[in-house]
Structure 1
Amino acid sequence: MSLDSDVIVDRRRIRRKLTFWRVLAALVVIAAIVTVAVVATPAGRGAFTTSGSIARVKIDGLIRSDSGRVEALERLEKSSAAAVVVHINSPGGTTAGSEQLYDALVRLKAKKPVVVVVEGLAASGGYITAIAADHIVAQQSSLVGSIGVLFQYPNFSELMKTVGIKVEEVKSSPLKAAPNGFEPTSPEARAALDSLVKDSYAWFRGLVKQRRGMDDALLEKVADGRIFTGRQAVELRLVDALGDEKTAIAWLVAQKNVKPDLPVRDFKLTPRLGDLTFLRTAASFTLDALGLSVIARQVEHAGLVQAVDRLGLDGMLALWQPAGAN
């Protein structure tokens, strides 16, 4: 009986040791994957060194406040990169996030030549980002503009009447937390929102007028919320030239005395693990292979949660989206 007990204890001890070494092996593999991703890829190398080169920065997707991105641009500002090419493909985002990014690029521009290349889209907050540079290049079929601001919110008051639900509240003043989406928007609340939108719109217009050197007549023509193709945008002085990255670099060489033979290296603005989908997938696969399926599922779920989180945009928006898009 005592022998059987000793065997059971030994087996448990062996199991615990095996689990420990599995976890340790998983951590080592994940660390190796991260190291390879950050050091071996062009983006990773660019995050560490831009010496004797032109830094390539990419602004993709929705724009919102991001202190990590600002810190990365500050590092780039202090680096030995000769110049910066900013590639933009964004429909905009929050006005606060767009303003934050604009200010960071303006500070960068004070230290290094900055040129923008519009790849597919630089609309609304994306265009706020673009005008931080002194020179904007766009492809002929790029979409540019959407100068305007909006405040959107869902209203469930009719649905709640249908299902028989009523939300009651006690608040300090009529405009506190208005609109709330659970009751019809009052004229006073709508007027308050209208004031916010108009004030932000005036700021946006003033920025475009100042940065693009427009008179009032031209500003009225371009600032009605519509978007323009790259070809149209050149005529309207929203962009400076048609072309691509080579066109942008040629401008840097001609106007900013940048050496023509400098390599262009990617500079990763936010090298966060959460943004590297392939790393998450590799980590999940590794954990599965080591028999740690529960942890693997948690890794995959974390990616899903982050993807859902990106759908939420809070505050005033400088955002363009086609009609019917969700």
Structure 2
Amino acid sequence: MEPFDRIMDQMTLRADFLVDRRRLKRSLALWRLLAIAAAVALVAGLAFQSDDFATAIGYKPHIARVNISGLIREDTDREEMLKDIAKSKHVKAVILRVNSPGGTTVGGESLHRAIQNLRKKKPVVAVFSTVATSAAYMAGIASDHVIARGSSITGSVGVILQWAEVTELLGKLGIKMEEVKSGALKAIPSPFQPLDEAGRALTQEMVSESQKWFVDLVAKSRSIDPGAIPGLTEGRIYSGRQALKLKLIDQLGGEDDAIAWLEEKRKIEKDLKVIDWKAKESQSTDWLRITAKSVAIWTGLPATALDKLFAPGNALERVQLDGLVSVWHAQTN
């Protein structure tokens, strides 16, 4: 055989070897993927047979727990979550754990309505923790049954409209506000001018109308005469024990008592697990928290220094409140 022909034969054999090797690699990769998929399917199958795992991800009958904490504002993500709970065939009942001083009146109104819609599909029990006042009480009484601790703080049925009047401060800074309005009552109340009698009367009329709506809502939800309850129309607070005597709540106790009531009165299956359902958090708040903590670390401050700022009911939430507010302001030093 000529040298040239020998070289060509060797090159052909090498090419065939490379092609076969590539085919073998592809075949091995395919079998690896199939083996991994089979292993994942096996683990998933075994996991779904586990009651604890299946319940934890919502694929077994359970009681849904929804936490309502911090300052209440209108929250479309939470309302969507409540709709999902109502639709879920695996959720047999709902416990609302409420620990909130209230929030915006609109936030309480929208949450009250969302809970009313939920209870058309599932039995709902509200469990009041340390505080459940104003808009939080408004939300809680939309449930089928209301439970509170004896020392819980509740009530505070009322509406507030607050603003800062800063004309004196601006004057000291040498700043004068000018404006052109379409009418005398436009932009009233305003932080940039003292409130006159017409503006005060208008503002009081709006607050009083909202207060009447709130009181009527309590009267209807609790089947009570508001005038017969000391301080109710004046916005006072009550302990859980006082609230029970005045029929503002139904029972003293906690979550175990809520489960017992569901089992006895609504015939919910015994020993169902209670699983937390959580709405999606606001992405803007997440980014603000991450950015603030990054700055704290970069400047040498402990990352925990900002935890209180982003905790439920924090100062950041309070400055974001706007419009009519139904919130109990605890005195702080």
Q: With the length of structure 1 as denominator, give the TM-score of the two structures.
A: 0.74
Match of 2:118 in 1: 108
Match of 2:177 in 1: 167
Match of 1:323 in 2: 331
Per-residue deviation at 1:235?
A: 0.6
Match of 2:83 in 1: 74
Match of 2:320 in 1: 312
Match of 1:52 in 2: 61
Per-residue deviation at 1:161?
A: 2.6
Match of 1:266 in 2: 276
Give the match's secondary structure for 2:72.
coil
Give the match's secondary structure for 1:171.
coil
Report the residue type matching 1:320 in the other structure.
W
Number of residues of Structure 1 aligned to a counterpart in Structure 2 = 267
1: CA distance between counterparts of 2:218 and 2:143?
Answer: 12
Give the direction of change, closer, same or farther, for the CA distance of 1:59–1:65 in structure 2 (3 Å limit): same
Q: Is the 8 A contact 2:227 2:233 kept in 1?
A: no
Counterpart of 1:177 (choices 184, 187, 210) is 187
Moved more, 264-273 or 193-202: 264-273
2: CA distance between counterparts of 1:46 and 1:191?
Answer: 56
Give the direction of change, closer, same or farther, for the CA distance of 1:228–1:308 in structure 2 (3 Å limit): closer
Give the direction of change, closer, same or farther, for the CA distance of 1:273–1:156 in structure 2 (3 Å limit): closer
| Residue 130 of structure 2 corresponds to residue 120 of structure 1 | yes
Give the direction of change, closer, same or farther, for the CA distance of 1:112–1:156 in structure 2 (3 Å limit): same
1:55-108 CA distances to partner (integer Å, 9 max, x unpaired)? 011000000011111111111110120000000000111111111111100000
Per-residue deviation at 1:215?
A: 1.8
Matches within 5 A, 1:276-315: 280=290, 310=317, 311-315=319-323
1: CA distance between counterparts of 2:72 and 2:55?
Answer: 22
Give the match's secondary structure for 2:71.
coil
Q: Is the 8 A contact 1:106 1:132 kept in 2?
A: yes
Give the match's secondary structure for 2:96.
strand
| Residue 249 of structure 2 corresponds to residue 236 of structure 1 | no
Match of 2:46 in 1: none
1:199-222 CA distances to partner (integer Å, 9 max, x unpaired)? 100010000000111024324542
2: CA distance between counterparts of 1:276 and 1:165?
Answer: 36
Give the direction of change, closer, same or farther, for the CA distance of 1:164–1:204 in structure 2 (3 Å limit): same
Give the match's secondary structure for 1:105.
helix
Matches within 5 A, 1:105-254: 105-219=115-229, 221-254=231-264
1: CA distance between counterparts of 2:56 and 2:315?
Answer: 27
Give the match's secondary structure for 2:207.
helix
Moved more, 198-207 or 303-312: 303-312
CA RMSD of aligned residues (A): 3.1
2: CA distance between counterparts of 1:46 and 1:190?
Answer: 55
Per-residue deviation at 1:227?
A: 0.8
Match of 2:265 in 1: 255
Per-residue deviation at 1:324?
A: 4.9
2: CA distance between counterparts of 1:305 and 1:244?
Answer: 27
Moved more, 304-313 or 56-65: 304-313
Give the direction of change, closer, same or farther, for the CA distance of 1:315–1:261 in structure 2 (3 Å limit): same
Give the direction of change, closer, same or farther, for the CA distance of 1:47–1:219 in structure 2 (3 Å limit): farther
Give the direction of change, closer, same or farther, for the CA distance of 1:256–1:276 in structure 2 (3 Å limit): farther
Give the match's secondary structure for 2:120.
helix
Q: Is the 8 A contact 1:60 1:89 kept in 2?
A: yes
Q: Is the 8 A contact 1:59 1:89 kept in 2?
A: yes
Give the match's secondary structure for 1:223.
helix
2: CA distance between counterparts of 1:321 and 1:90?
Answer: 11
Percent identity over paired residues:
40
1: CA distance between counterparts of 2:171 and 2:284?
Answer: 41
2: CA distance between counterparts of 1:256 and 1:153?
Answer: 46
Give the direction of change, closer, same or farther, for the CA distance of 1:273–1:260 in structure 2 (3 Å limit): farther
